[in-house]
Amino acid sequence: MKNVFEDVTCAGCCCVCDNIQVTTDGQQILDVQTTCPQGQAWFARSRQTNQLQPLISGAEASREDALTRAAELIQNATSPLLFGMGQSATEAQRAAISLADRIGATIDSGASASTRALQQVGEASCTLGEVRSRADLIIYWNAESLRANPHHQQSLNSGTDAISRKFVTVGASASDASADVDLALRVPVEGEFETLWRLRALLRGIALNGDVPSGLSAGELESLAALIRQSRYIVIFFGPAVSEDRLFHRKLEALSLLAREIQSERRCHTMNVPAAGAAKGAEPVLAWQTGYAAAVNFAVGYPRFSPCEYATVRMLEQKEADVCLLIGDAPLTGLSELALQELQQIPLIHVGPAPLSDLEPEVFLPTGISGIHSAGSLYRFDGTPLPLRALIATPQPSEAEVLQQLESLLTPVLPIC
C-alpha cells in the first residue's frame, strides 16, 4: 500500500528543506517531489542501505564481531579521534559526544576555524525566514553552491510580499553579473582579507592608497560599498574554509567586524554555509553539551577547547591520533591531502549509511539513514532545529544505536593527570 508523506525534511544539504513530498510502499521510496539534485541523490541512497554488511578488513563479518573489533581498536588507543557527523541526527551526535567523554577522546566537527573566529568576535545571525522576509541585499561570499541551489532561491521568493533585493557574489569562483546577480566581485583567496579591510575603510570614508587585489577594481569595491549604504537589511552568506586556507579564521573575524560596523546604521547579519552536500554539522550539539562547538578534547576528564591543538586536520597531519572513528555520511569532507594520507596509516572505524569510496577502514559498521529509516532532529545551517521522520523500514540500526552499543563494550579511560 502506498503511503504519501507531506512536509518531509530532507538532509541532503545544509538547506534542510522541510516541504518535500515522499511516496513509499513501506519498504522503499517510490517517488520524491523535489527538483533539487542533492535531495534526489540523498533519498536514492536508501535503495542500497539494506544490502550493506559489517566489514572487518574488507571481509564480511557479523555485527557482534565488528563491534568487538572496533571496541578493541578504541580501547588499545592512547589518542582516539572522532570526526564527521555532518549529516548525522542530533541523537547520533549526542551519542558520539558521550562516547568521546567515556574514552577520553578528541571529537571535532571540522568547523574549528570558524568556531575560533566567532568565539573571538561573536556572530550576529538570523533565520532563513528573516532573510526571506526582510533582506534587501544578499551577499554570497564564497558561497556559490548555496546561491545556485534551486530550493534556496525558491525559498527566498516564497514570501507573501515580494521584496526588491540585490544580489552580490564575492570570491574566486564568483559568477558573472547576470539577470540574477547584480554585482560579481572576483577576489582571489589570498586577496580576501585585504578586500574586507578595504571595504571597511570605504564604509568609514577612509581613503586608502595602493593597488587593490588582482582581479578586482577599486570601482567594483566602491559599488559594493554603495549597495551596502543604500540597503536597510544585509545578509552575508560566507562559505566554508578550505584545508589550504590557514588564515580563514582571520578573514572570518574581519567579516564579523565588518558586519558589526554596518549594524551601527542598518541591520546586517552573517551566516556560515557548510560545504556543498553537507548539513550544519555537530557544532550546535557540541556547544550545548560541552560548551565548545568544535575541537573538544576529553583526555583530562572534562572538555577542553583548542582549535590550534585539537582540530582534526592538525592532529592527523602531526600524527597525533592513533585511531580514528568516522561517523556519518561523507565524513572526509574538509580534510587535507596530508590528513587523508595519515588516515591510511592508522586504524580506521567507520559508522555510517554508506561505505567510504576513497579509504578502506579496518571496521565498517553500516547504519540506516536518519530522516529516512529513523526519526530524530537535525539543525539547519541557520541554527534552526527541524524534525526528521522514519519513512521506511530497514534492518540496519541507527547511528546513535551503533555508537551506544560500541560505548557499552568499552571500559572508561582514567583521565590524564
With beta carbons less than 8 A apart as the criterion, state whether 345 and 320 touch: no
Which residue do the cell numbers 544585509 mark?
Answer: 234
CATH number listed for the domain at residues 53-111+281-368+396-408: 3.40.50.1220
Evaluate whether 141 touches 170 at the Cβ level (below 8 Å): yes
Query: What confidence category does residue 31 fall into, taking pLDDT thresholds of 50, 70 and 90?
Result: very high
Reply yes or no on whether the pLDDT at 243 is more than 60.
no
Instruction: Provide the grid cell at 345.
Output: 596509516
Cα angle 274-278-283, degrees, rounded to a multiple of 5: 60
Q: 3-class secondary structure for 93-106?
A: HHHHHHHHHHHCCE
* Residue-wise pLDDT tens digits, 81-121: 999 888 899 999 999 999 999 999 999 987 666 666 677 77
How many Cβ atoms sit within 10 Å of the Cβ of residue 381? Answer: 22
Tell me whether residue 18 is exposed, middle or buried, using C-beta atoms within 10 angstroms of its C-beta: 0 to 12, 13 to 18, 19 or more: middle
**Measured distance CA(389)–CA(6) in Å, rounded:** 11
Find residue 81's DSSP bridge partners: 106, 324
pLDDT tens-digit readout, 37-88: 888 888 998 888 989 999 999 999 999 999 999 999 999 999 999 998 888 9
Give pLDDT tens digits for 254-277.
Answer: 898 899 999 988 999 999 888 765
Partners of residue 183 on adjacent β-strands:
168
Task: Write the DSSP symbol of residue 397.
Answer: P
C-alpha angle 154-159-162 in degrees, rounded to nearest 5? 100
Amino acid identity of 378?
L
Q: What is the CATH number of domain 115-272?
A: 3.40.228.10
* pTM given for the model: 0.88
- Bridge partners of 82, per DSSP, are 107, 325
Phi, psi of 226 (to 5 degrees): -65, -40
Task: Give me the residue spans of the domains in the chain.
Answer: 53-111+281-368+396-408, 115-272
